[in-house]
């Protein structure tokens, strides 16, 4: 009786150990996914906050400027626009300088401007150069287009470098994670090699032998992914509290998609590893079970 109880305890212990091991592997994959999401969101956020200003001619009337702004807002490549009057520009500059330059000069030398913010896919040097030429065609309204060219090039170069590093890092972690998960499942199947051999000896077909192991593997992957998602949610919660609005930029549906992907990866990788591991012992001869 006690012997049977010890065997059950060992089986439960092995199952729990395997569950935790797979959960940690899936958690690692989830963290990689979260890093990729944050990198993409941060890249989009920075690009969409790049501003270039359309300097409006002084003789253009305000109703015409506002009408032109409304026209700009209809373009698909423009995320938003902001109209800054001569008075607003003067007040802003006065605040920066800390003195009333209008009183010294006796007039307002500044021009009205429209700040343009592009959608992220258009915030690259080539697109901006084309748009600069396009906006300058409105010679009756726009006198100059002003933006920081070096900053645009710097941001795009850094985004490309970070994307390549993350891609390499993600691929390496995925391979490591799969190897760890595969080894965990192989050890679990290895502990049951004698049961598999016994079923072979009594004439059970391969599909019949595989089925319970595949079901167990799929369930392990599913429950492990739920544990991984729970831990990942806690990490996201604490990071959100520490970093502030950075993670708020990630859409809830996108985060949900990541969680679904973790579940799918957990079930799929567990099934694949279980299938190949059990096939090894289905082909193995009884004499080789002890090696």
Q: Is the pLDDT of residue 256 over 70?
A: yes
What is the mean pLDDT of the segment spanning 134-146? 80
Question: What number is the average pLDDT over the span 249-257?
Answer: 72
The model carries a pTM of: 0.63
Does residue 182 have a pLDDT over 50? yes
From residue 5, how far is each of 8, 9, 10, 135 by CA, in Å? 5, 6, 9, 80
Determine the pLDDT at residue 3: 45
Phi and psi at residue 202, to the nearest 5°: -90, 5
Domains assigned to the chain:
2-45+155-288 (no CATH), 51-146 (3.30.70.3040)
* Predicted pLDDT of residue 1: 45
Residue 53's pLDDT band (cuts 50, 70, 90): confident
H or E element: which one contains 53? strand 51-56
- Those residues whose C-beta lies under 8 Å from the C-beta of residue 117, and which sit 6 or more positions away, are 48, 49, 50, 51, 78, 79, 80, 81, 82
Say if residue 65's pLDDT is above 80: yes
pLDDT mean over 64-70: 87
**214 pLDDT higher than 80:** yes
Span of 217-221, 235-239, 240-244 with lowest mean pLDDT: 240-244
């Amino acid at each position: 009786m006690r012997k049977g109880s010890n065997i059950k305890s060992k089986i439960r212990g092995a199952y729990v150990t395997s569950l935790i091991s797979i959960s940690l592997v899936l958690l690692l994959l989830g963290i990689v996914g979260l890093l990729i999401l944050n990198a993409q969101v941060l890249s989009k956020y920075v690009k969409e906050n790049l501003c270039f200003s359309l300097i409006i001619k002084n003789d253009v009337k305000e109703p015409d400027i506002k009408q032109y702004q409304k026209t700009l807002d209809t373009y698909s490549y423009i995320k938003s626009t902001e109209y800054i009057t001569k008075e607003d520009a003067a007040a802003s500059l006065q605040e920066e300088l800390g003195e009333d330059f209008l009183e010294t000069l006796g007039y307002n030398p500044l021009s009205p401007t429209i700040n343009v913010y592009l959608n992220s896919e258009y915030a690259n040097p080539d697109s901006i150069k084309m748009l600069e030429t396009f906006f300058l065609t409105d010679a009756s309204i726009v006198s100059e287009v002003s933006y920081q060219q070096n900053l645009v090039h710097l941001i795009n170069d850094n985004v490309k470098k970070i994307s390549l590093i993350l891609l390499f890092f993600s691929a390496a972690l995925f391979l490591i994670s799969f190897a760890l998960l595969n080894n965990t499942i192989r050890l679990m199947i290895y502990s049951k090699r004698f049961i598999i051999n016994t079923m072979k000896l009594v004439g059970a077909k391969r599909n019949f032998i595989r089925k319970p192991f595949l079901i167990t593997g799929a369930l392990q992957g599913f429950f492990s992914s739920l544990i991984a998602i729970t831990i990942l949610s806690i990490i996201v919660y604490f990071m959100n509290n520490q970093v502030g609005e950075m993670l708020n930029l990630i859409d809830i549906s996108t985060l949900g998609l990541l969680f679904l992907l973790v579940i799918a990866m957990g079930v799929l990788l567990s099934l694949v590893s279980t299938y190949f591991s059990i096939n090894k012992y289905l082909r193995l001869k009884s004499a080789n079970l002890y090696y």
